[in-house]
Amino acid sequence: MSSLSLPGEEKAMDHQVFTTNFFENDAEFQKMIMRTTVRFNDRLDPEMLRSSLSELVQLPTWRKFAGRFSINSEGRVQIITPHTLPDDYVLVDYRHVDCAHRNIGDHEAVAKLPENLKASSVHHTWGQESSLFRPDDFTATSTHSYIADSRPPLLLYVTTFRDGTMMSLIWPHVLFDGAGLAAFLGAWSLVVNGKISQVPPILPDPMPNIMDEATMAKEQGQLPKFPVHKLLLIVVWMLWRTWTKPRNERRFVVLTKESVARLRHRAALGAPADKECKISDGVLITAWIAKTLAAADKDYTTSNIVCAVNVRRSLPELQVLTGEYIQNLVASFFITLPQTIVQAPLLQLASFLRGEIRERTSAASVRAYFRDRHEASLASSKTNIYDPRTAAHTVVLPVFVNNMASLCIAEQLDFGSAVVGTAQGKRTNRIGTPLYFRNSNAVWTEQKLNMASFAVQGRSEEGSYYLDACLPPRAYVLMEESLRVGEAL
């Protein structure tokens, strides 16, 4: 394979073949079909969105996203793109629903969501099964569904209203992670705004080089191994909670910059006078929710925070070349929060989290993670991103956390040139930019285990954070009380 090839690319006479790396080829990973749903308070030209996306995936280094999934002779998932595209070749699966006769806020699936992000609040979820967020006939549950139907990797689904637009981009997780999504949306925005010449190239898959570095650094980073019997105990505990406890509920949570500032002020009250509270907003919010969860359910007074990390920022060799790694380059780690830490002042908990995150995201730790995941892939067909073997040696419940705000996904979107009408009244975001978005599974399925999770999805232009949370009902009661009185737990 040429050193100048694209991520996983092999060249043939009549087509390009893009293979997946060991991480993306995992059976569980291939079952993850994602949906990025964006709400605009502008009416956008759907045909311009379709044509610009089609232009993007025809660029020389971007053709992977116009191909078709298949399985090679080694049983590995790959994408095949013809060198010469037939006239009837479908680049992007596209659907448009015209609701120009009504306002977006009148739609039943939107009515429970906030009209703006000016106030801290807790709202009902997006309504996973609503036809506003994905077509009713979309039933793909894995990359194998794409193979069976010979469908394009990308589905663009646009619903236009009198005063707004709801847009969903549906894609298999095999294509890219959250950071890759941000880069993809940024490139798409450039095409929409007539700046196609500024679209960066996609860089070659660095995973082989990372693995070489990981082999060389084998003694520099070691991951703790979680005993199998303790893992089974956690599963049994979670099953018992599923049968005996109220099910966690999904909510859309808004935290304004004023609320975050109050959290920071309260945290600073516990700091020495000469010490500045240098905690990121994402870590501060995670600490606040961990305390809220523990107050709502005593089973979470000790817990494992399960985080995903973008390794593009951890490995210096990935920051040298000009271009984008639009693929999956993410690692996971577990942070055990002892009861003494959870019940400590907010600053102490947040500082503990920050220190653990720094340690787990070091270059040595990341290389050790990939080394272990690669070794696991050689021994089994499963290479789950969330490897329970790397948890601390404590039988406690996991809480899945994803700080997507740090990826600046919403900030990459600018469809200003596609705007054909704007909403009346005062607005806080620039024309053509999102009001908010949500990244989630495309096809909703009932959660078998009653697991807690939350994702800081993004940050609005006025500084408000919006979260997608799945927590015990009591946690939301405590959140609302806390926000109402302007204090943190």
Same fold across 15-201 and 207-405+445-485: yes
Q: Can you give the pLDDT at residue 23?
A: 80
Q: How is residue 125 written in tokens?
A: 């979820």
Length of the chain (residues): 489
3-state secondary structure of 467: strand
- DSSP secondary structure string, 264-297? HHHHHTTS-TT------HHHHHHHHHHHHHHHH-
Confidence of residue 258 (pLDDT cuts 50, 70, 90): very high
pLDDT tens digits for range 83-128: 999 999 999 999 999 999 999 999 988 888 888 899 999 998 765 6
CATH topology of domain 207-405+445-485: Chloramphenicol Acetyltransferase (3.30.559)
Using CA atoms, how far apart are residues 31 and 443, in angstroms rounded to an integer?
10
Class of the domain covering 15-201: alpha beta
Q: Can you give the pLDDT at residue 128?
A: 60
pLDDT tens digits for range 31-42: 899 999 999 999
Using CA atoms, how far apart are residues 323 and 240, in angstroms rounded to an integer?
48
User: Is the pLDDT at 225 greater than 50, yes or no?
Assistant: yes
**Rounded to two decimals, what is the model's pTM?**
0.90
User: Is the pLDDT at 138 greater than 50, yes or no?
Assistant: yes
Phi, psi at residue 264, to the nearest 5°?
-65, -40
Q: Can you give the pLDDT at residue 334?
A: 82
Give the domain ranges of the chain: 15-201, 207-405+445-485
User: Is the pLDDT at 213 greater than 90, yes or no?
Assistant: no
Q: Which of 344, 336, 338, 342 has the alpha carbon at shortest distance from 304?
A: 336
3-state secondary structure of 434: strand
Q: How is residue 347 written in tokens?
A: 């600053």
